[in-house]
């Protein structure tokens, strides 16, 4: 039995990379050994192994003894510490597109897509937190985004409480990523902003801090965001703040959605955020979004920003400009 500590070190991982049979042996140990202590050790070993992209890809490709299916079943069976390890491994395995596709195919063929979503959303146990990352990884796939945006199934709404209630940063991070990815589906943007889903207050809520707006500005905000008081704290993670801004940015693709967002007082929230924001990438994302919100509408025929053809030299110039902003 190999010590679980070995894969934690960089040298240990390098050694394992040259001997892939070791990863296979540990994977089979997880599946076959009946000793709980051994399995627990193997879980930890495998979690560390799968955090190395190359090993993760190797395991995805070979899937010894159906290790992926085992991880799914363990995540669903209970929310004990074993489920934590399994969810973390699934998160590692699905970071790449190939791993995400493989897991999604498995979930679809075994009818466990909604079960896994329910496992995340119906349990507050921290052992389930990493399922949030599993879903954000899965949502890189077109197919999964369409599944999440099924209007009758109301799946995307299940991620809202993670942004508006007290939850772990892992869940908040995963939820923000899922919602941002869903906002890339321009055809669903009107529905996302409609009263049926009403995504905008959920995206703006974590961006609001203790500052108090003037009453006339306050009254323009969605009702859920009005008069939150000076004890309201802004989301502490810059990565999450940036993803939320990017999500709103994606919702600004069409004229109708832009006007909805403009008329919801989003500018005031971003203005106050900008005053106190210390993380440079978030500042840049914020300024880009504000530029859209305060700009005049484009000429007729150019309203859908994603359909406008931008000359390549301008695209490169804009990208270089953003690079310069990030350096300041």
Partner 1 sequence: MDEEARMKLLEKLQQEEEEFIAGLKPSKYRDGWKEETWEKEMEEHPLFAKSLPDSGELPPLVEAMQQLKYDTELNGPEDLAEQYKDDGNNNFKLKKYRWAVASYTEGLRQKCKSLELNAQLYCNRAAAQFRLKNYGSALADSTIASKLKPNYVKAVTKAALCCWELERYQECIDWCRQLLELDPANAEMTALKDKAEKALKLAERNKRKAELKERLAARQEAALRSALEERGIKLPKPKDEELECNPFDPLTPTHPALRDHRVHQSPTGDGLVWPAIFLYPEVMESDFVQSFDESSSFGEQLELLFGDTVSQPEWNASGQYTPNSVSVWFKDHFTGKPVAISPKTTLKTVVFDKRFHIDNGTTSFWVLPKGTEYEARFLAQTGST
CB-wise, 73 or 194, nearer to partner 1?
A: 194
Closest CB 172 distance from partner 1, rounded Å: 22
CB-wise, 131 or 200, nearer to partner 1?
A: 200
Question: Which residue in 228, 293, 305, 325 binds partner 1 (CB under 8 A)?
Answer: 228
Question: Which residue in 227, 233, 307, 323 binds partner 1 (CB under 8 A)?
Answer: 227
Q: Is 224 in the site for partner 1 (CB under 8 A)?
A: yes
Question: Which residue in 11, 34, 166, 229 binds partner 1 (CB under 8 A)?
Answer: 229
Question: Which residue in 36, 37, 223, 314 binds partner 1 (CB under 8 A)?
Answer: 223
CB-wise, 224 or 297, nearer to partner 1?
A: 224
**Taking contact as CB under 8 A, which single stretch among the options 59-67, 202-210, 220-228, 276-284 is the one that binds partner 1?**
220-228
**Taking contact as CB under 8 A, which single stretch among the options 25-33, 169-177, 224-232, 316-324 is the one that binds partner 1?**
224-232
CB-wise, 3 or 210, nearer to partner 1?
A: 210
Q: Is 195 in the site for partner 1 (CB under 8 A)?
A: yes
- Three-class SS of the chain: CCCCCHHHCHHHHHHHHHCHHHHHHHHHHHHHCCCHHHHHHHHHHHHHHHCCHHHHHHHHHHCHHHHHHHHHHHHHHCCCHHHHHHHHHHHHHCCCHHHHHHHHHHHHHCCCHHHHHHHHHCCCCHHHCCHHHHHHHHCCCHHHHHHHCCCCCCCHHHHHHHHHCCCCHHHHHHHHHHHHHHHCCHHHHHHHHCCCCCHHHHHHHHHCCCCCCCHHHHCCCCHHHCCCCCCCCCCCCHHHHHHHHHHHHHHCCCHHHHHHHHCCCHHHHHHHHHHHCCCHHHHHHHHHHHHHHHCCCCCCCCCCCCCCCCCHHHHHHHHHHHHHHHHC
Please report, as ranges, the residues that interact with partner 1 according to CB under 8 A: 195, 223-224, 226-229
């Amino acid at each position: 039995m190999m010590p679980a500590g070995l894969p934690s070190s960089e040298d240990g991982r390098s050694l394992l990379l040259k001997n892939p049979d070791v990863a296979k042996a540990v994977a089979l140990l997880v599946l076959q050994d009946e000793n709980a202590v051994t399995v627990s050790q193997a879980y930890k070993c495998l979690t560390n192994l799968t955090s190395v992209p190359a090993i993760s890809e190797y395991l995805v490709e070979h899937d010894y003894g159906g290790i992926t299916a085992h991880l799914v079943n363990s995540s669903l069976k209970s929310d004990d510490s074993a489920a934590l390890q399994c969810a973390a491994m699934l998160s590692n395995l699905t970071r790449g597109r190939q791993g995400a596709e493989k897991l999604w195919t498995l979930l679809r063929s075994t009818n466990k897509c909604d079960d896994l979503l329910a496992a995340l959303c119906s349990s507050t146990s921290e052992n389930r937190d990493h399922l949030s990352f599993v879903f954000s990884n899965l949502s890189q796939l077109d197919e999964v985004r369409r599944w999440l945006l099924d209007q009758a199934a109301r799946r995307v709404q299940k991620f809202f409480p993670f942004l508006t209630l007290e939850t772990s940063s892992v869940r908040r991070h995963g939820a923000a990523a899922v919602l941002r990815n869903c906002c890339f589906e321009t055809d669903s943007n009107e529905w996302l902003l409609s009263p049926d889903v009403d995504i905008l207050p959920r995206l703006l809520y974590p961006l609001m801090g203790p500052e108090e707006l003037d009453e006339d500005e306050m009254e323009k905000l969605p009702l859920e965001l009005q008069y939150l008081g000076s004890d309201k704290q802004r989301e502490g993670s810059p990565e999450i703040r940036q993803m939320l801004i990017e999500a709103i940015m994606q919702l600004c693709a069409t004229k109708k959605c832009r006007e909805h967002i403009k008329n919801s007082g989003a500018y005031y929230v971003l203005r106050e955020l900008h005053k106190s924001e210390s993380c440079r990438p978030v500042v840049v994302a914020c300024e880009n979004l504000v530029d859209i919100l305060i700009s005049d509408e484009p000429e007729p025929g150019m309203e859908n920003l994603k359909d406008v053809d931008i000359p390549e030299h301008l695209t490169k110039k804009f990208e270089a400009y953003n690079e310069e902003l990030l350096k300041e």
